[in-house]
């Protein structure tokens, strides 16, 4: 089973997902350790808007690339999506609730109050508080992406039987409904976010359908994509797919799409010139579900302001201190992924392709995978290459 799944992988999409998730980790670090709060050692303010222009766009577009828009909604499909998306969301929320209670107790606060606060956040499932929300509770953070993607897959199944033209119209209408409804009301569990995400996933499906044509005209495609991305870099960078909010309007939307296309072609360059980086990113990309989800857990739970003070005292209040924090956080998240892999309950949730394997066998596979990634090998395949796609993709 594991071998069959590995044959179905699309390496350059794994690399693109790895770029997106690592960018999210750096982005969240920039929000916490900002130059506005820490002028001498904080995160450079110019970087955060750049990361904001592409990270989530890439994830949704890659999801769409590997989603069958012609597959009607079935009970089995709903259960499969729930297993792959809502179960990790539930486990992550339980970890956040428990971690927040423990963190509060260690800091001398009321653990029950924190547990209740994060339980409400988990039940509401929003990426941020909204002016017109039916309930104003703590935002659950970045894992809003998981229920949003679940809803998006359901909406895609509902329009699967439509003709291509009607399907395109339905996608545009869903995006419009998500945006307009958000101006008046905000529903729980990121339903509107998922409704809006269908449009980006549809772009991904179009890229897959016309990938041969795009590859034959790669230079004009990249030039046009960069032309869309540049205005977003200059005037955008404050969009929120979580809240269906685009302050710069079409500049944010088109810029995100253009940026995602550029990111999708980056693995080709990385594979040709940076073989070790390509294999490392490919390994990260195969485990982005665990990396992304566990990062959000620590982002919500860890007392980062206290840790930043310790960091500044240890390394000084210098312009490179933020780099130390980024490196530490990446290593921390990698360690959490390794721990989750070794524990059977979390391995079954975040690494479903190895469920049922013993801990020793799982450790062996993990070490073997690391050994394979460190060995020289063939370049990563490109999007234009012929290969099967399927439901192996897990966001």
Q: Quick one: pLDDT at residue 20?
A: 97
Q: Quick one: pLDDT at residue 2?
A: 35
Look-up: residue for tokens 């089995």? 76
Which residues have a Cβ under 8 Å from the Cβ of 314 and sit 6 or more positions away? none
Q: Quick one: pLDDT at residue 317?
A: 87
Q: How far is CA 84 from CA 18, 38, 81, 253, in A?
A: 18, 39, 5, 27
Alpha-carbon distance of 201 to 62, in angstroms, equals 7
Q: Quick one: pLDDT at residue 316?
A: 86
CA R_g for the chain? 21
Q: Quick one: pLDDT at residue 272?
A: 85
Q: Quick one: pLDDT at residue 388?
A: 35
Q: Enter the tokens of residue 23.
A: 């960018």
Q: Quick one: pLDDT at residue 384?
A: 45
Profile the chain (395 residues) by mean pLDDT over runs of 10 residues: 50 94 96 90 92 96 96 95 96 97 93 96 94 92 97 97 97 97 95 98 97 94 97 91 95 96 92 89 94 97 93 89 94 97 94 58 52 43 41 32
Q: Quick one: pLDDT at residue 315?
A: 87
Q: Enter the tokens of residue 176.
A: 């419009």
Alpha-carbon distance of 376 to 378, in angstroms, equals 7
Task: Provide the H-helix boundaries in the chain.
Answer: 2-7, 11-32, 47-52, 55-65, 75-81, 87-106, 111-124, 145-158, 164-181, 191-209, 211-216, 218-235, 250-273, 275-285, 288-301, 304-315, 321-342, 344-350, 359-374
Alpha-carbon distance of 87 to 208, in angstroms, equals 28
Alpha-carbon distance of 289 to 308, in angstroms, equals 27
Is residue 393 within 8 Å of residue 353, measured between CB atoms?
Answer: no
């Amino acid at each position: 089973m594991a071998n069959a799944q590995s044959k179905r992988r699309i390496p350059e999409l794994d690399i693109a997902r790895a770029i997106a998730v690592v960018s999210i980790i750096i982005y969240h670090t920039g929000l916490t350790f900002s130059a506005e709060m820490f002028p001498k050692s904080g995160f450079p303010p110019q970087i955060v808007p750049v990361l904001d222009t592409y990270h989530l766009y890439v994830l949704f577009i890659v999801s769409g690339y590997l989603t069958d828009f012609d597959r009607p909604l079935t009970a089995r499909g709903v259960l499969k999506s729930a297993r792959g998306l809502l179960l990790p969301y539930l486990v992550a929320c339980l970890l956040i609730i428990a971690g927040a209670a423990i963190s509060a107790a260690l800091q001398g606060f009321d653990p029950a109050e924190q547990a209740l606060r994060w339980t409400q956040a988990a039940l509401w499932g929003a990426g941020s508080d909204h002016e017109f929300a039916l309930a104003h509770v703590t935002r659950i953070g970045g894992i809003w992406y998981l229920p949003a993607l679940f809803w998006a897959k359901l909406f895609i199944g509902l329009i699967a039987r439509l003709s291509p033209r009607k399907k395109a119209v339905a996608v545009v209408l869903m995006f419009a409904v998500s945006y307009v409804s958000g101006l008046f009301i905000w529903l729980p569990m990121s339903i509107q976010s998922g409704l809006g995400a269908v449009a980006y996933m549809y772009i991904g499906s179009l890229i897959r359908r016309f990938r041969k044509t795009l590859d034959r005209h790669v230079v004009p495609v990249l030039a046009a994509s960069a032309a869309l991305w540049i205005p977003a870099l200059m005037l955008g960078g404050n969009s929120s797919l979580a809240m269906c909010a685009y302050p710069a309007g079409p500049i944010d939307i088109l810029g995100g799409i253009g940026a995602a296309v550029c990111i999708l072609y980056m693995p080709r360059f990385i594979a040709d010139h940076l073989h070790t980086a390509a294999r490392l990113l490919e390994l990260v990309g195969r485990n982005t579900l665990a990396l992304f989800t566990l990062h959000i857990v620590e982002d919500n739970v860890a007392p980062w302001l206290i840790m930043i003070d310790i960091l500044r005292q240890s390394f000084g209040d210098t312009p490179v201190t933020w780099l130390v924090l980024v490196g530490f956080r990446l290593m921390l998240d990698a360690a959490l992924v390794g721990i989750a892999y070794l524990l059977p309950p979390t391995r079954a949730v975040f690494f479903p392709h190895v469920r049922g394997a013993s801990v020793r066998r799982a450790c062996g596979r993990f070490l073997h995978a690391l050994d394979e990634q460190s060995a020289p090998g063939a370049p990563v395949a490109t999007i234009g290459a012929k290969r099967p796609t399927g439901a192996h993709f897990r966001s």
